[in-house]
């Protein structure tokens, strides 16, 4: 039934509401529900006109203030708080009536008041503490009573007729009883992370003196941050600590005598709000020389990116880690066919051709084949930010799902970005039913996110594994992992020589080795992985350092003779054949595998499997 009251609207002379608030208003006025759940970005600030509100003041002072006679707030720590609509005597009477009655008594009293008097709103922050996501037999009687009361209110026409609304607030839906989420008269509304326009508006609000061009750059660089985090970077006057003038003076002292000191101090002062003097001293580099051709805002943006990484890693509680590759694909030795494939993908990403960009990559091959290094070099080549997904599994009920949702929401807001999952078989391999179904729910949510068309060109999934057979089959299909790139050990002496040469360049080691001498030495390294070749090269460099000479043919031969590679021939052969079976293109395979039929590949896989597990 359509409520008889209203919620504010722009057409009624009000300032425009955030999109999620307008959605709540429309659904309420349409009579779709009187119980709402707000989730995701609930600990942010929300702009209305020239003010930024946190969520509870926004709801009580903007959305509900002029349209509800009584506003109550219920939380575990503070019990019931009357936000609006009762006299001091009424508040005292309410508190006296509720004293000692527990959660059941609170809901009973609130229900009576919301039915006796018209136009009420009940706000429940941290709703997961009152309606936890647990099996009913694990809930206390009070928690069961609270759930039953809310469920009954959502169906009660008399409750809706009295113009009542209940708003639950939770960062993650996984924290709330799933029985509430599936109820047709309870509506969940996501509060998204701020988009570029919102970030640009917040920068103008918190740093009005910043130049327009720098504000635009800053809005581009801060994707994935909440407005409250953005304010902690650019606020002209920090709520505590140094103000902008004090920061500028401190930075000017640190940069005294360096190029463009005053200009640099002005810019850095604008994006170091909330930082202590020791933190600023650690951040500012007075020895950095700035070439005349360099963009004067580049140092400022580098500091912003560093602060953004710190904030997001803290926000995600260590669940993700930023990848900072130092080398491009020109530092990769050999692997010409793989580099060509990745360079083409990088070109598509840089060109902004979202329609042709792959949804995801699967890098497969035996351990030590260079998957991790090559993928990081690809990220640098593509100019793509990357984050590594760390272990988000938890022993606590619902925590694993909540962790995954937090990571996915953050990553999506940061796009375009690559989400890199190393040893994907361990993170997302099948775990059966031993975890109470958590693994299957994680896989299902991951599949849904990976195949979301909105993520094409925005979030590139990259899974790396040497055991793709342990991955859920459906996760590897086109539309989730479009390109499957196989990695193998260097096939020829010349390829192995190219790998060693690239390794020496990477470590800035200048050898005294002719190309033909190095290639001849690599004849003896058949079957060595890229990791083995790196170990040999560094061992030769160690010998050279001890003898204070360059790396020579004799020292390389000594290192080759001294090094003992791992002896796991059967397992390596099995992993190679798995890579053959997974690849999406024959042209990416070494010549010795390209002519194999599907049946021959499966036969060899079965044979190697018997050798490993007799």
- Higher-pLDDT residue of 420 and 89 is 420
Question: Residue 177 pLDDT more than 50?
Answer: yes
Question: Residue 87 pLDDT more than 60?
Answer: no
Residue 592 inside a domain? The answer is yes
- Residue 16: both structure tokens together: 């425009």
CATH number at residue 418: 3.40.50.300
pLDDT at 431 (0 to 100): 53
Residue 334 inside a domain? The answer is yes
**Contacts of 515 by beta carbon, 8 Å cutoff, 6+ apart:** 497
pLDDT in tens, 63-75: 998 889 999 999 8
pLDDT at 46 (0 to 100): 95
pLDDT in tens, 408-454: 888 888 888 899 988 777 766 555 555 555 667 777 888 888 888 88
Question: Residue 292 pLDDT more than 50?
Answer: no
CA 235 to chain centroid, in Å, comes to 25
Residue 444 inside a domain? The answer is yes
Whether residues 479 and 496 fall in one domain: no
277: containing domain: 196-315
Distance CA 326, CA 396 (A): 38
**Residue matched to tokens 């300032």:** 15
pLDDT at 350 (0 to 100): 77
Percent of the residues in the chain that have a pLDDT greater than 90, as a whole number:
35
pLDDT at 291 (0 to 100): 47
pLDDT at 427 (0 to 100): 64
Q: How many domains does the chain have?
A: 4
pLDDT band (50, 70, 90) for residue 535: very high
pLDDT at 188 (0 to 100): 95
Partners of 471 in beta bridges: 429
Question: Residue 18 pLDDT more than 60?
Answer: yes
The pTM assigned to this predicted structure is 0.77
pLDDT at 1 (0 to 100): 39
pLDDT at 344 (0 to 100): 86
Whether residues 111 and 67 fall in one domain: yes
Whether residues 22 and 156 fall in one domain: yes
Average pLDDT over residues 329-338: 83
Q: Are 470 and 429 in contact (CB under 8 A)?
A: yes
Question: Residue 165 pLDDT more than 50?
Answer: yes
Whether residues 111 and 212 fall in one domain: no
Average pLDDT over residues 547-571: 90
pLDDT at 475 (0 to 100): 85
Whether residues 274 and 357 fall in one domain: no
Whether residues 350 and 394 fall in one domain: yes
Residue 1 inside a domain? The answer is no
- Higher-pLDDT residue of 175 and 424 is 175
Q: Which of 263, 288, 315 is the last residue of a domain?
A: 315
Q: Which of 469, 486, 503 is the last residue of a domain?
A: 486
Question: Residue 8 pLDDT more than 70?
Answer: no
Picking from 36-50, 189-203, 412-426, 524-538, which range would have the lowest pLDDT averaged per residue? Answer: 412-426
Whether residues 95 and 163 fall in one domain: yes
- Residue 348: both structure tokens together: 């598509």
pLDDT at 546 (0 to 100): 93
Residue 513 inside a domain? The answer is yes
- Which of 119-123, 244-248, 294-298, 303-307 is predicted most confidently? 119-123
pLDDT at 394 (0 to 100): 53
Backbone dihedral region for residue 352 (phi beyond 0: left; psi -120 to 50: alpha; all else: beta): left
Distance CA 234, CA 59 (A): 26
Question: Residue 185 pLDDT more than 80?
Answer: yes
Average pLDDT over residues 233-243: 70
Question: Residue 10 pLDDT more than 50?
Answer: no
- Higher-pLDDT residue of 238 and 520 is 520
Whether residues 464 and 558 fall in one domain: no
Residue 287 inside a domain? The answer is yes
Q: Which of 315, 341, 359 is the last residue of a domain?
A: 315
Whether residues 338 and 465 fall in one domain: yes
Whether residues 337 and 469 fall in one domain: yes
pLDDT at 303 (0 to 100): 83
**Residue 122 neighbours by CB distance under 10 Å:** 25
**Contacts of 63 by beta carbon, 8 Å cutoff, 6+ apart:** 7, 8, 17, 21, 24, 25
Whether residues 17 and 159 fall in one domain: yes
Distances (CA, A) of 382 to 329, 347, 411, 418: 10, 7, 18, 10
Residue 151 inside a domain? The answer is yes
Whether residues 532 and 545 fall in one domain: yes
pLDDT band (50, 70, 90) for residue 195: very high
pLDDT at 280 (0 to 100): 82
Residue 3 inside a domain? The answer is no
pLDDT at 91 (0 to 100): 54
């Amino acid at each position: 039934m359509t409520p008889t009251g209203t919620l504010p609207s722009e057409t009624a002379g009000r300032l425009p509401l955030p999109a999620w608030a307008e959605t709540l208003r429309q659904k309420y006025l349409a009579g779709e529900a009187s119980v709402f759940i707000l989730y995701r970005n609930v600990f942010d600030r929300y702009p209305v006109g020239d003010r930024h509100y946190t969520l509870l003041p926004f709801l009580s002072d903007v959305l509900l203030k002029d349209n509800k006679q009584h506003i109550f707030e219920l939380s575990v720590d503070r019990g019931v708080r009357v936000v609006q609509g009762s006299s001091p005597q009424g508040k005292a009477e309410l508190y006296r009536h509720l004293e000692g009655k527990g959660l059941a008594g609170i809901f009973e009293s609130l229900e009576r008041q919301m039915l006796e008097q018209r136009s009420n709103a009940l706000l429940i922050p941290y709703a997961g503490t009152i309606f936890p996501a647990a099996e009913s037999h694990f809930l206390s009687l009070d928690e069961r009573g609270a759930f039953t009361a809310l469920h009954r209110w959502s169906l009660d026409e008399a409750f809706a007729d009295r113009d009542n609304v209940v708003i639950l607030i939770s960062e993650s839906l996984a924290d709330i009883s799933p029985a509430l989420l599936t109820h047709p008269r309870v509506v969940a509304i996501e509060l998204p992370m701020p988009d570029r326009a919102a970030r640009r508006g917040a920068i103008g609000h918190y740093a009005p003196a910043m130049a327009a061009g720098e504000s635009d750059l800053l809005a581009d660089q801060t994707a994935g941050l909440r407005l409250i985090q953005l304010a902690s970077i650019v606020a002209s006057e920090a709520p505590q600590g140094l103000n902008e003038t004090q920061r500028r003076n401190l930075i000017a002292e640190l940069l005294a005598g360096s190029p463009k000191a005053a200009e640099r101090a002005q810019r850095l002062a604008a994006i170091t709000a909330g930082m202590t003097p020791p933190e600023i001293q650690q951040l500012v580099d007075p020895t950095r020389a700035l070439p005349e051709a360099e963009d004067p805002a580049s140092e400022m943006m580098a500091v912003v990116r560093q602060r953004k990484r710190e904030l997001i890693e803290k926000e995600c509680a260590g669940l993700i880690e930023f990848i900072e590759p130092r080398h491009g694909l020109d530092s990769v030795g050999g692997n010409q066919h793989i580099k060509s494939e990745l360079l083409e993908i990088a070109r598509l990403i840089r060109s902004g051709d979202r329609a042709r960009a792959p949804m995801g990559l699967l890098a497969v091959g035996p351990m030590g084949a260079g998957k991790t290094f090559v993928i990081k070099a690809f990220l640098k080549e593509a100019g793509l930010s990357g984050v590594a997904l760390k272990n988000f599994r938890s022993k606590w009920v619902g925590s694993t799902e909540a962790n995954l949702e937090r990571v996915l929401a953050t990553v999506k807001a940061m796009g375009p970005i690559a989400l890199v999952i190393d040893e994907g078989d361990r993170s997302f391999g099948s775990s059966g039913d031993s975890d109470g179904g958590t693994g299957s729910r994680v896989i299902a949510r991951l599949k849904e996110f990976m195949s979301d068309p909105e993520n094409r060109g925005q979030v590139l999934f990259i899974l790396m594994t040497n055991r793709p057979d342990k991955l859920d089959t459906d996760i590897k299909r086109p539309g989730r992992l479009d390109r499957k790139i196989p990695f193998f050990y260097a096939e020829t002496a010349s390829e192995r020589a190219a790998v060693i040469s690239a390794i020496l360049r990477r470590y800035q080691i200048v050898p005294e080795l002719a190309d033909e001498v190095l290639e001849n030495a690599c004849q003896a390294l058949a079957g060595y992985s890229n990791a083995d070749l790196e170990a040999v090269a560094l061992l030769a460099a160690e010998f050279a350092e001890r003898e204070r000479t360059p790396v020579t043919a004799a020292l390389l031969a000594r290192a080759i003779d001294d090094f003992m590679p791992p002896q796991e021939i059967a397992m390596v052969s099995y992993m190679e054949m798995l890579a053959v079976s997974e690849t999406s293109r024959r042209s990416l395979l070494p010549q010795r595998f390209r002519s194999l039929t599907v049946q021959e590949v499966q036969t060899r896989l079965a044979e190697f499997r018997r050798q490993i597990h007799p």
